[in-house]
Amino acid sequence: MGSSGHEEGTLRVFWAWVEGATGNIALALEGLVEQVRSWATLGGLGASYIMDTLNTLLVGWMIFVALILIIGTFFYYKFINHFESSDFGRPQDTQPQGELQEKKQVKETRAASGKSGPAAPPVPPAKKPTIVPDRAEEPVSPPVATGADPDAVRWTNNVFTWLYNSVDGAPAIKKTWLHTINENTVKTALETGILVEVVEIYKTSPAPALYNMVVDCSPTDSMTITCDCDATIYLRLGTTRTQGDKTTESEYACAVRPLRGRLNIAAVAPELTAVVKFDGWPEVSLKLEGIRNNAVGLDEQQMLDVIDEVLTSALRNSVLDVSFQTNKTFPRFRRARQVPDPIIPVGYDSMVSALSSTTTGQSTGIPGLNGKRLLVKIVKATGVGCENLVSEAYAVVEMDEPPQKFTTSIMKDTSSPFWDEQFLFDLSGSTLELLFEVYDKKNGKFLGLGIVGIEELVATPSQRQIIPLQSRPYENDEVSGSLTVEFLFLDRADLPEHTLRSSATSQSITPKGDLITTTTTTYVKAPESPAR
């Protein structure tokens, strides 16, 4: 029988006993009245004596009833009422919601603290991280873009100046970036059992350094902006880890140093929207420091490994959709002149040598390159082959005009070959671009390509680029990794002494029937003269 049934039975027994006692008292009083009446009729006793006796008995019975009521009330409040108000005398579903919630919170607090007590100890405040600098670094200057369309270049420079200097620019980008990062980390929470959330970007984080920015504008004013990004970011992370019935929340400081790669920005100028992502596989390095409620030993190391993996993947795979349509201070795109007819590109394999001309008959090349040379050093490739073993990796570099082509040596059994080989190219006013390709010689597999425009190299005569590898046009190649290349412009007087030059010319026909002549030039050190 339930506790409620037990209560009702106890109450019925108690009140039945009180009723019986009261009924007996009433019968006794009625008998007493009849007895006194008979005595008065018979005249056996004096009337005054009888009334005194009756009064005494009535007072005694009243005292007795009062005692019964007092004792009954005492027992009721002492035992029965206490039984009704206890947890054992009331079903769980009839307890007030507030009491249930309060008791649940007390139990959870005691379970989390691992001991019984009135309340858990207060949560300690987060300590000051040592990997985050106390003050911001020197401000970074906005990048300077180059490109064939002056209006597009001017608008791009205005946009990045606004982003770097306006009070509305950086916060809008940071908010969108944090939202995108956290969307990526949430996807891994079910798999790892740990939710990683980027809470904030520390104010001491400097603006990213962007360089080698090139703008390519279509006839519809849709632009592709590419640039190298080198960023240092300081983050505050919150983690939630569930193990069985126990949930632990911790905080970490994270130094992302560096976040480096080739950025690709697809912007629609009339609509003031853009999609920002990294090309290829950006370089990411994280340093973590616990600042609140962190574990120790092996558990903490496992937590750090999970955070590193989750956050690195989120940073590399982030795709930002940004829109500035509602911002009244954002620069609007306007053209100052009529755009010339676009030059239709040909297939990259042909590396066409015929020059396109404008309506004035002037060459579209870069003036001032005649008589100069370009020294290209192919340093290394990183992470090629999509995590598959590359047996015999080699790279090819080719110039469009004058046609020149060089090939590196072969590096065996590595997906990150290191060549550190340099090649010297002759330049002309018609030189436009360099093509880099990486192959696996053993199976002829294509591993990726990258194209560098001469125009972006002219701005900095000596530079080092990390070129994300891409698939071939209209092909669905599986490509990963990057190519590290160094460039140096030289005058003819800068050519090292005792150097011999040999050239080899070959001809090939493209699928369209065009005849392509390729000249391969090799520079080698001349043998020293024998001592006399």
- What secondary structure does DSSP assign to 24-82, as a single string? HHHHHHHHHHHHHHHHHHHT-S-HHHHHHHHHHHHHHHHHHHHHHHHHHHHHIIIIIHH
Mean pLDDT of all residues belonging to the chain: 77
Q: What is the mean pLDDT of residues 203-223?
A: 91
| pLDDT (0 to 100) of residue 531 | 47
Pairing of β 222-243 and β 209-217: antiparallel
Query: Would the pLDDT of 63 be above 90?
Result: no
Top mean pLDDT of 243-247, 433-437, 505-509 is at: 433-437
Q: Cα(427)–Cα(516) distance, rounded to whole angstroms?
A: 18
Q: Residue 476's CB: how many other CB atoms inside 10 A?
A: 7
Residue among 337, 231, 252 nearest 294 (CA):
252
CA 177 to each of CA 133, 143, 184, 254, 336: distance values in angstroms, whole numbers, following the listed order: 22, 20, 11, 16, 33
Q: Which distant-in-sequence residues (6+ apart) come within 8 Å of 142 by Cβ?
A: 157, 160, 161, 163, 164, 165
Residues in the chain: 532
Query: Would the pLDDT of 363 be above 60?
Result: no
Instruction: Please tell me the pTM assigned to this model.
Output: 0.45
- Which segment of 95-109, 159-173, 341-355 scores lowest on mean pLDDT? 341-355
Q: Of residues 122 and 251, which shows the higher confidence score?
A: 251
The answer to whether the beta carbons of residues 50 and 40 sit under 8 Å apart is yes
* For the chain, percent of residues with pLDDT exceeding 70: 67
pLDDT digits (tens, 9 = 90+) for 322-351: 999 888 889 999 887 554 444 444 334 433
| pLDDT (0 to 100) of residue 69 | 79
Confidence of residue 274 (pLDDT cuts 50, 70, 90): very high
What single-letter amino acid sits at 276? V
pLDDT digits (tens, 9 = 90+) for 466-519: 889 988 887 778 888 899 999 988 875 555 544 444 445 565 665 655 555 555
| pLDDT (0 to 100) of residue 90 | 46
Q: Of residues 30 and 140, which shows the higher confidence score?
A: 140
The 3-state secondary structure of 356-414, one letter per residue: CECCCCCECCCCCCCCEEEEEEEEEEECCCCCCCCCEEEEEEEECCCCEEEECCCEECC
| pLDDT (0 to 100) of residue 362 | 43
| pLDDT (0 to 100) of residue 505 | 53
